Chains A and B, each alone.
Chain A
Amino acid sequence: MIDTPLLSVRGVSRHYGAHIGCSDVSFDLYPGEVMGIVGESGSGKSTLLNCMSGHLAPDAGEVVFDTRADGPRDTVTMSEPERRMLSRTEWAFVHQHARDGLRMGVSAGGNVGERLMAVGARNYGDIRDKATDWLGRVEISESRIDDRPGTFSGGMQQRLQIARNLVTGPRLVFMDEPTGGLDVSVQARLLDLVRGLVRDMGLSAIIVTHDLAVVRLLADRLMVMKSGHVVEQGLTDRVLDDPQHGYTQLLVSSVLQV
């Protein structure tokens, strides 16, 4: 087994005044692992995700990422330029609302190409070839490459967001409710796509969602949060099929069976 975690979270806490965002969260994520974080609205899962992805500074704790260049580094204390560079190269962030993760005034090809240009690509032909390839991989027709995302359906926008994020070959993907607001049939297609990409690219991922079906399908392991605390974590099917904590039992039993 590989012994260096890709991401090592230690005692991460974030308070909003007297209110607890998330409190003393620790875990290790290894290369290729997909972890789900579930909990109701306000349980702190999004706060935690934002702390890990550098969008929010935690009040306490470390978020150590195993960088390609320099090995494990605490992303909380590293300089902002370094952290932003990581977020363009080794990390990806898929927002719940594609509008937050896309440039709506820029064509699909430009959206995919942006990260390439941000890391120094200066050959139009190459950028366009890569964008075409990635649109294909997320099942968007090449003929739509010059269309703006506003003309796409919700599912296509979400797939475009994924292509835009993965084009620079990141190693860790943060996803915030990636299937929220999509039709069930569109969700299935997106999940299948994400699952394939995670496996083929050997990605690690952290997926925040309140949809237990999503984590059952995508996540190797699961963390359950309530009121800012982690109440239970473990293998996904173990947590869902044999929940130990009262809150998890409630969560699992609240889901309609289909």
Chain B
Amino acid sequence: MTDQAYNFAYLDEQTKRMIRRAILKGLAIPGYQVPFASREMPMPYGWGTGGVQVSAAVLCPDDCFKVIDQGADDTTNAVSIRSFFERTAGIKTTTSTKAATVIQTRHRVPEMPLSEGQILVYQVPIPEPLRFLEPRESETRKMHSLEEYGLMHVKLYEDIARHGHIATSYAYPVKVEGRYVMDPSPIPKFDNPKLSDSAAIQLFGAGREQRIYALPPYSRVVSLDFEDHPFEASKADHSCGLCAAEDSYLDEVIVDDVGGRMFVCSDTDFCEARRAAGHKGKDAA
């Protein structure tokens, strides 16, 4: 099963060492974007090259690896990344959040609280939260270094002016440890509170943009807002059609050609565990 032609976890040791140094620096300065020399990976940009490189740098032979894409273990992206590491690192893989030691994710944070010793690796398309309003990288770096974050609120102001409320629903900007403003990757804002005070190490890798940033365990992460328009972690106002969970993030699934739809947990492992425990939603067969 393991392809012996590759070094452990595909990348050579010097590259992994370079990435680990970037990760350590990121952990030392929570929320700060550390540049790193991103390598070409055998997959296109946008498929998680940043996350894969971070995972490759932190994986050890006895780790148990889980990959989720939009919360699901069985989507193409998740399956192919999982098999990539099965082949290049020969490590165990799992779909269980609890059993995993390293979880690579795209667009979600698992519903189950993570524990100490676990590492959550986020795939990040655009690491710079200020880019929406200030396209000059030289200027945004200066703004970070001088803590000039007024612009971030301009983005939220525009939201309220246009929609009457803060309509940003994913990649919702956060402030880390009262210092750096950070893009939490395109997770739904429902997941933002899970970033704060998490027991796990959270690492963010942007391959195309060559940036790594990190949250050490138990970091304080605050979602930006206005006094009169406070942050709200919103989700679809339904319960899961399969497991009846009231408090999990839901995907809307169209089930026929006449407008029939159902809401199901986006976190497949969470949903399956609940169903195994006997919970049953209204759409469950």
Chain A partners chain B: yes
Task: Give the residue name and chain of the A residue nearest to B135 (CB).
Answer: A105
A contact residues around B227 at 8 Å (CB) = 122-124
Which segment, of B94-102, B111-119, B151-159, B252-260, faces chain A? B151-159
Within 8 A of A (CB), among B134-183: 142, 146, 148, 150-151, 153-154, 157-158, 160-162
Within 8 A of B (CB), among A100-137: 103, 105-107, 109-110, 113-119, 122-125, 127-128
Within 8 A of A (CB), among B83-109: none
Task: Give the residue name and chain of the A residue nearest to B225 (CB).
Answer: A122
Q: How far is the CA of A125 from the CA of B160 in the complex (A)?
A: 10
A199 on the interface (CB 8 Å rule)?
Answer: no
Checking B142, B148, B157, B226 against A110 with a beta-carbon cut-off of 8 angstroms, the contacting residue is: B157
Number of residues on chain B facing chain A (CB within 8 A): 17
Checking A105, A119, A125 against B150 with a beta-carbon cut-off of 8 angstroms, the contacting residue is: A119
B228 on the interface (CB 8 Å rule)?
Answer: yes
The total number of A-B Cβ pairs within 8 Å is 55
Checking B142, B148, B161, B229 against A118 with a beta-carbon cut-off of 8 angstroms, the contacting residue is: B148
B28 on the interface (CB 8 Å rule)?
Answer: no
Most buried by A among B157, B158, B162: B157
A contact residues around B154 at 8 Å (CB) = 103, 106, 110, 113-114, 117
B284 on the interface (CB 8 Å rule)?
Answer: no
Task: Give the residue name and chain of the A residue nearest to B149 (CB).
Answer: A118
A245 on the interface (CB 8 Å rule)?
Answer: no
Q: How far is the CA of A107 from the CA of B163 in the complex (A)?
A: 13
Which B residues lie at the A interface, using CB under 8 A?
133, 142, 146, 148, 150-151, 153-154, 157-158, 160-162, 226-229
Top 8 closest pairs, chain A to chain B, by CB: A118-B150, A117-B153, A117-B150, A124-B226, A123-B227, A81-B146, A110-B154, A146-B161
